[in-house]
């Protein structure tokens, strides 16, 4: 196809179709639409795939992170360390608990938290650390664990379903794992999230917290000997339950996860090979300890060598029908956090650079070989 022909390659598209549509018939026809057997099946499959004892479905990765901190009893007077380059909800959930957000800088080569900077941020008030497995690449969990000692680690694996570090899946690397099923993720339930843990007590606690604090689930009550008796409520909980409509879609999607990652890995390798001679564009690199989940393919634009600024390049690509995005944002540069904590962009230079120069290019399972060739062709012609 000639470059003059109009293209439209989205940054991401979910892979859903007849199988997912048919899966929703069962809860619709049975009348059990709220959290029930399909959510439970999805949880079991997710737990098996990620090698954890417990998986608990919730409404989003944000609510998963919130419940994780509540279960760890994070509250006023506590500090929680988060990377400065991540989606804003990683920091927001700390404030939901009344605690203080303490930012740590990131390694601009991996976009993940820099263990050396993390070590400087730990204090006697540090109640938890949230390492983010950004874009599907796990953080350096061995070094983070060494630095953290007994401080609980809440993995923000929103982008990292199916990813692994030294053979251990994301979600089994810390105290609690948190995942997202937003449509930009490799598997989706529309909105939705998952908690993972190997801790029986935390699993039981988070199970109650997501269901208003009820001592038993709605499904347990309805199928019990006295469904007309309401459960006791011993905790202040939340309504963070996933529906069985979403769970039914999740059951179908999770079975496709490894196929999706395999396809994305193939085309990520293609990008890296084809773009390696562009001295102004740094492509992702990582060691053999990491199994990348490839939620997205995020590059770094060196404006000292580039034909234009990062933003101008994104505009040029958009004109050619290729969608791009900054990798994500530096949370400390967002107005709310900048003003709340009186932070300067240069206080976290790695995150600032990632904010200003990262660029995600299209990588998803609905792209054709021709699409990938076209993206490479346009980037080379810049």
Nearest to 364, CA basis, from 14, 3, 7: 14
Nearest to 358, CA basis, from 112, 189, 147: 112
* CA triple 120-127-117, angle to 5 deg: 15
Dist. CA 373–CA 177, nearest whole Å? 36
Contact 253, 188 (CB under 8 A): yes
Dist. CA 247–CA 46, nearest whole Å? 11
Whether residue 185 lies in the annotated active site: yes
User: Which residue of the set 127, 185, 276, 338 is catalytic?
Assistant: 185
Residues serving a catalytic function are 185
């Amino acid at each position: 196809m000639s470059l003059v022909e109009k293209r439209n390659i989205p940054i991401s598209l979910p892979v859903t179709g007849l199988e997912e549509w048919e899966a929703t018939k069962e809860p619709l026809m049975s009348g059990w639409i709220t959290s029930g057997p399909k959510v439970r099946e999805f949880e079991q499959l997710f737990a098996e795939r990620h090698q954890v004892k417990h998986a608990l479905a919730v409404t989003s990765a944000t609510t998963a992170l919130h419940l994780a901190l509540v279960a760890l009893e994070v509250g006023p007077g506590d500090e929680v360390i988060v990377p400065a380059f991540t989606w804003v909800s990683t920091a927001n959930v700390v404030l939901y608990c009344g605690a203080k957000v303490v930012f740590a800088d990131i390694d601009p080569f991996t976009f993940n938290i820099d263990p050396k900077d993390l070590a400087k941020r730990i204090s006697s008030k540090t109640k938890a650390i949230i390492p983010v497995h950004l874009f599907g690449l796990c953080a350096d969990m061995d070094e983070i664990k060494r630095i953290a000692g007994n401080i609980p680690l809440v993995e923000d694996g929103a982008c990292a379903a199916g990813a692994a570090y030294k053979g251990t899946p994301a979600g089994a690397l810390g105290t609690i794992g948190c995942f997202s099923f937003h449509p930009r993720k490799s598997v989706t339930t529309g909105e939705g999230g998952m908690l993972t843990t190997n801790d029986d007590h935390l699993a039981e606690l988070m199970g109650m917290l997501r269901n208003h604090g009820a001592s038993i689930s709605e499904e347990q009550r309805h199928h019990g000997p006295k469904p007309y008796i309401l459960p006791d409520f011993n905790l202040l909980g939340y309504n963070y339950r996933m529906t069985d409509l979403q769970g039914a879609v999740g059951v179908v999607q999770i079975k496709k996860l490894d196929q999706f990652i395999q396809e994305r890995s193939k085309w990520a390798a293609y990008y890296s090979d084809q773009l390696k001679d562009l001295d102004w564009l740094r492509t992702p690199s990582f060691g053999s300890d990491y199994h990348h989940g490839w939620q997205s393919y995020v590059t770094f634009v060196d404006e000292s060598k580039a034909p234009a600024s990062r933003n101008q390049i994104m505009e040029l690509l958009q004109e050619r029908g290729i969608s791009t995005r900054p990798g994500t944002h530096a949370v400390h540069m967002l107005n709310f956090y900048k003003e709340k904590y009186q932070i300067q962009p240069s206080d976290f230079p790695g995150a600032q650079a990632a904010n200003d120069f990262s660029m995600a290019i299209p990588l998803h399972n609905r792209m054709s070989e021709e699409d990938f060739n076209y993206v490479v062709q346009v980037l080379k012609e810049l």
